[in-house]
Amino acid sequence: RDLMPRTLEGQITMEKTPSYFVTKEAPARISSMSKGTKLIVVVRDPVTRAISDYTQTLSKKPDIPTFESLTFKNRTTGLIDTSWSAIQIGIYAKHLENWLLYFPIGQILFVSGERMISDPAGELGRVQDFLGLKRIITDKHFYFNKTKGFPCLKKAEGSSKPHCLGKTKGRTHPDIDQEVVQRLRDFYRPFNMKFYQMTGQDFGWD
């Protein structure tokens, strides 16, 4: 709590890190700090997420093994290596089970990473509703950056400049063997179905 910014009554304090959702100790710690905390989790197609994760690592360590070799424990049998974090993180249903031991599903909003790109205002409308805020952010706040392939905020808070994703975002993904992509889709499918049931939301990944 001491690490959080001080806020007045009626203000909303927000804090984020992607690793909360997959860190085993996080739900209990957050619950003991504040049981009423509202949680927002941005998720995207776990296969695309894994390739994106690998691309990010590759940019820092160009000599790492190929995506294909890291994906499998055994390529011949097609056994997926679930200990590799790039694969492990996308098993959303498993991580969510841990959170539901401490928080009711109604306190968690799942935001679609795909819809954040195709309809940012619509998805942020859901976020504003969830937080009990007036819908101030609308379509007029965004424009699409064709170079990056992502929407940009027309005007960042306290600045006249538009705000787009930084250089480290939207990198071109390496070409991955389509057979490997298909194997991963088959691997994630039952976990995705379970996740859809748990959240009451079909994210359309397949």
Q: Which domain holds residue 54?
A: 37-199
Q: Which residues, 6 or more positions from 52, have their beta carbon under 8 angstroms from its beta carbon?
A: 171, 173
Is position 167 within any domain?
yes
Per-residue pLDDT at 9:
86
Looking at the domain assignment, is residue 4 inside a domain? no
* 155 in a structural domain: yes
Q: What is the pLDDT of residue 171?
A: 62
In total, how many domains does the chain have? 1
Is 52 among the annotated ligand-binding positions? yes
**191: in domain:** yes
Q: Is 170 annotated as a binding residue?
A: yes
59 is in an annotated binding site: no
| Tokens standing for residue 34 | 């504040």
Q: What do you get for the CA distance between the two ends of the chain, in Å?
A: 40
Task: Flag whether 173 is marked binding.
Answer: yes
- Each of the 206 residues of the chain gets a pLDDT tens digit; together they read 787 778 888 888 888 988 999 999 999 999 998 999 999 999 999 999 999 999 989 989 989 999 999 999 988 788 999 999 999 999 999 999 999 999 999 999 999 999 998 898 999 999 999 999 999 888 878 877 766 677 888 765 666 677 777 665 656 777 899 999 999 999 999 999 999 999 999 999 98
- Are the C-beta atoms of residues 40 and 112 closer than 8 Å to each other? no
- 3-class state of residue 119 by DSSP: coil
Domain annotation covers residue 109: yes
Q: Is 167 annotated as a binding residue?
A: no
